[in-house]
Amino acid sequence: MTLQVGIVGGGQLARMMIAPAVELGIDVRVLAEQPGMSAGLAATAVGDYRDLETVLAFARDVDVITFDHEHVPQDVLQGLVAAGVAVHPGPEALFFAQDKLRMRARLDELGMPQPAWAAVSDAAGLDAFLEAHGGRAVVKTPRGGYDGKGVRVVSAAADAADWLGALAEDGELLVEELVDFTRELAQQVARRPSGDSVIYPVVETVQRDGVCAEAIAPAPHAAGRLADIAADIGEAIAVGLGVTGMLAVELFETTDGRLLVNELAMRPHNSGHWTQDGSITSQFEQHLRAVLDLPLGDTALRAPWSVMVNILGGPATDALADRLPAALDAHPAAKVHTYGKDPRPGRKVGHVNVAGADLDEVCYEARAAAAFFAD
């Protein structure tokens, strides 16, 4: 009998699950927010993921519901479970990916290394944290942030006056120490409902203006101690939070050689796009296998190095399709992945993967191919 997966959300992550689903003979359906989205190819429904009736109707007849994002409200997730729908990752796990304050509190309970943090509800609380942590800190809105939106470095409570002023009666902001990091890493883990898990090699990510620009796999100079610590953190969080499907743990490597957890994503993640062309099993195939409780795939590298460079939208990327022939001609080893999205300045509209034996060459190729679209 054909396996059926329903994906809530029609963005590029859902889009990139379509190809491996076709290959494995899995019937994939997408509930898109609107027509014409990235994953429109497989959109069998268009509707509001915050509406239980809409999501229940979409979930009828599928073997499992999974997600392109973490924003489906808890009451909708609980409603699906109550109706007997298999939901992966489940509401209990997503609870911690939906709110950065809950995540920090739970990771403390699990003994995970983190930046010093606090929940603050007023200027006095924020000033007290600043005084105790060197006069500068990072303030975050607990919910709804992405790509650096909802993250701000402050040196006085006044710098966050707008956010503090907008808090609801019992609302709180997350404040964290400003971590002195040398680089950012990401650890991916896949876990099945029946408990098996596999890990990917830890990767280095480069952010520009709060947006992931590049990922290098495996992270240079991480083999051994750092890679082992990252893997242990990823595994402990996947098990501790009961994550099913793909988990990405974003990490800071500090100047004194520690790893601290920045944040979590319970779905395929930008830091894992390299796996499409650099790993035996891509994160998109792995996510489908994991949520269907199928045996997980090999995460071994196809080449010593893989580099992923995002294509960010801008006026020039109106011509993404026009530029494709020249880019493919100039960079035959580059694998170009496009998202079918209208370009807007800074918006992720695609990425390029290159895999090979020489890291400098692989970086050069990937950056040069992406620059064809983005300059």
Residues lying near ligand ADP in the complex (CB under 6 A) are found at 115, 138, 140, 145-151, 176, 178-179, 184, 207, 210, 250, 262-263
User: CA neighbours within 13 Å on the CB side: how many for 109?
Assistant: 10
Handedness of CA 296, 302, 305, 309 (dihedral sign): negative
CB of 149 to ligand ADP, least distance (A): 6
Nearer to ligand ADP, 42 or 93 (CB): 93
Nearer to ligand ADP, 86 or 154 (CB): 154
Residues with Cβ within 8 Å of residue 52, at least 6 apart in sequence: 75, 76, 79, 80
CB of 217 to ligand ADP, least distance (A): 17
Nearer to ligand ADP, 54 or 207 (CB): 207
CB of 284 to ligand ADP, least distance (A): 20
CB of 196 to ligand ADP, least distance (A): 28
Nearer to ligand ADP, 42 or 138 (CB): 138
CB of 252 to ligand ADP, least distance (A): 7
Nearer to ligand ADP, 136 or 225 (CB): 136
For residue 89, cis peptide bond before it (omega within 30 degrees of 0): yes
- CA atoms of 24 and 286, how far apart (whole Å): 11
CB of 45 to ligand ADP, least distance (A): 28
Nearer to ligand ADP, 180 or 318 (CB): 180
CB of 124 to ligand ADP, least distance (A): 21
Residue 199: both structure tokens together:
């890990």
Nearer to ligand ADP, 31 or 251 (CB): 251
Nearer to ligand ADP, 40 or 125 (CB): 125
CB of 4 to ligand ADP, least distance (A): 31
Nearer to ligand ADP, 4 or 207 (CB): 207
CB of 265 to ligand ADP, least distance (A): 9
Query: CA 116 → CA 128, 132, 175, 201, 285, distances in Å?
Result: 13, 10, 8, 27, 36
